[in-house]
Amino acid sequence: MIHSSHWGAFRARVVEGRVVEAVPFEADPDPADLLRNIPAAVHARNRVARPAIRRGWLEGRSRAEAPRGADEFVEVDWDTALDLVVGEIRRVHAEHGPASIFAGSYGWSSAGRFHHAQTHLHRLLSASGGFTASTGTYSHGATSVLFPRIIGYDANVSDSHTWDEIAERTEIWLMLGGVPAQSMKIDSGGMGAHRGAPGLDRVLRAGVRAISVNPIDGETAQADTLEWLPIRPGTDTALLLGIAHTLQDEGLEDRAFLDAHTVGYERFAAYLRGETDGTPKTAAWASAITGIPAGTIRSLARDLASSRSLVTATWSLQRAEHGEQSHWMTITLAAMLGGIGRRGEGFGIGFGSSDGIGSNRQPFGVPQPARARNPLAGAEIPVARITDALERPGGAYDFNGQRRTYPDIRLIYWVGGNPFHHHQDLVRMERAWQLPETVIVHEPWWTATAKRADIVLPATTSLERDDIGAKSSDVWIMAMKRAIEPVGEALDDREILRRIAQRLDCEEAYTGGFTLRGVYETSRREAAEYGIEMPDFDTFWEQGYARVPPAPQRSHMAQLLAGVPLQTPSGRIEIFSETIDAFGYDDCAGHPMWFPKREDAEAGRYPLHLISHQPATRLHSQMDMGPVSATRKVGGREVCRIHPVDAAARGIGDGDAVRLFNDRGACLASAALTEQVMPGVIALPTGAWFDPDPETGLERHGNPNVLTPDIGTSKLGQGTSAHTARVEVERYAGEPPPVEAFALPPMSRA
């Protein structure tokens, strides 16, 4: 049965009603090993079988007496559960207003676009009066705010160079953050054929000199054919400033490009020379911060200036305090080199951050229902500020030039996501999560978020419903055919919300008449307007896929060279932004610059930089119970990588259970000694299900987000700062406690 996922298309092999294998789609040249997780995940013992209500909430007890995450659940029938949901929505509307319902509902859910969970929840709550939403992403929240200010569009998701252009034109490629192999296996909406790793292979076979700037070696695809330039985490901006200073000092910058296509270079250059703060940003200055020799920085600057050069930055760089600066400086350096707008030169954002970067994007929309207009215009918070909002209702905060106020959140409604995976400082978040009056969650599994809800509604996985998988950067549109019957009493999110809408008297407004056939045919008509032919729905469904021609390249920067202004106040690249400068922020000025990190004040107590990178064995926290994820753990715990020098200083051996800790929390992991992590750095991937010991609070499974700080990147972007974290590590004394992340909560029947 043809199907698709965020990590690739496949054919489900079903025996006696159970998925037993996910066979890679025959057109995929580089299928993901993650497919092997699917059968175990679909039939996991921790599936949510029936609607369940937290007993303390059901009986009206205080959360101090019966806190979320430590209470029994009572299984009820669907009518009882839905009546409780409707009653809560109506109660909160009447007592506090719809803005007190938070339904950001951030998460990847499934690759299916018709059953996109967040879209359907927003349609329901818009139809019933409104809600508070979230804006931005954890992936690139900071620079999604920055880029429209300085280049007029969001470079995170558009306008990238193609792999073929890089192979044909680029001579030297400076990869800030590398090109992570594991992230090139996934993309929102899935793919019929992976193109990231094959594209990189073409680039390297073409003889492009590729330099991976990363605290971790081996994470980058084709790592053995790249130059590894290890750098202290969070210091990429300083490196770029040191390169820029060398260019200016030696007269290597492209003044013709700067004069014609940018504004504000002279004000930035004064900072570069140290005229505004007394500190020239020399290669020696950058070396002291980054750990990269000054001679290497100067040589790199000269090589970039004398070659057709491309400077790219992964999304991960901006997930740090002052994360806007590294990407702003990436564009500034590319402008100084003068190649912006030419094929295979200039800058690129997000290479390696997902499979679709490096592929052209289709001009027509993928098949999906229309997003609803929230009647509460402007009722939103930055996605990574959820804990702040829960802690400080009515509190003021800065965001993108505005002074805003946090809503008074009384009801959280979350569908298709797991904030106890992707948020930071989870111990603090768990305390804040106790504050709302009600938490409603749809989930296929008993995740940490489901265990901390009041009403849990069992949702199907994508293999239990019909859907369509698609993304704008892929040439494949995939039928996602139902392979098995729903597990337990699970319903599709759309059907759950339809039944709620029926009770709220807004069913027609919620459904909007959208059908699977209808959204496909709408997409087909849009494609035809661009001269792209797609088969009709019946042919598509019977065949199992549609293949469309590769999209033509569209480049804002090539248009800039042709005289088409950017959508910025100046119409040019804004090396200095008068708009941002006028905001008066102390953590994001009018041009890119270096800011010391507040975590560095704790370097004496916590000498190791923590890198919480994307896992290779699962998508975020999805399918953590699967065999690919489970077999690569040691002692049931996630593996952290540490340099042998750092391990020896602490008496840590390979395979030892270790405790990572700082003032925010502590977690257990298993140590792996490797020289692929630079000294002073410890790497622990995200995604191990949150599993705190109820007595001690020690996280037992290896979830790094008990250690990461929950602070905004700056007042401009308010993105996540997960990669600005310092820790210490020690060998764990005694027998490690058992991991209970996948255990069912205590349960009874009504």
478 neighbors 4 (Cβ within 8 angstroms): yes
Nearest to 442 by CA among 38, 99, 105, 92: 105
CB contact at 8 A, 156 and 143: yes
Q: Which of 57, 106, 163, 173 is catalytic?
A: 106
257's tokens:
């490009």
Q: Single out the residue of 111, 184, 161 nearest to residue 477, CA to CA.
A: 111
* CB-based burial, 446-473: b 16+ in 10 Å, e otherwise: bbbbbbbbbbbbbbbbbbbbbbbbbbbb
Q: Which amino acid is at 404?
A: R
Cα separation, 618 vs 37, whole angstroms: 8
Residue of 509, 437, 441 whose CA lies nearest to 88 = 437
The alpha carbon of residue 128 and the mean position of all alpha carbons in its chain are separated, in whole angstroms, by 30
Active site residue 446: no
Do 692 and 700 contact (CB within 8 A), yes or no?
Answer: yes
Annotated catalytic residue within 57, 108, 265, 541: 108
Q: Which of 370, 512, 385 is nearest to 104 (CA)?
A: 385
Distance CA 463, CA 39 (A): 10
Q: Dihedral, CA atoms, 624, 628, 634, 637, nearest 10 degrees?
A: -10
Let me know if 106 is a catalytic residue: yes
Pairing of strands 608-611, 726-731: antiparallel
The string of DSSP codes covering 531-598 is: T-----HHHHHHHTEEE-PPPPP--HHHHHHTTPPPSSTTSSEESS-HHHHHHT-SSS-SS------G
Q: What's the per-residue H, E or C state across 704-719?
A: HHHCCCCCCCCCCCCC
What's the rounded Cα separation, in Å, for the pair 8 and 473? 13
Catalytic residues: 106, 108
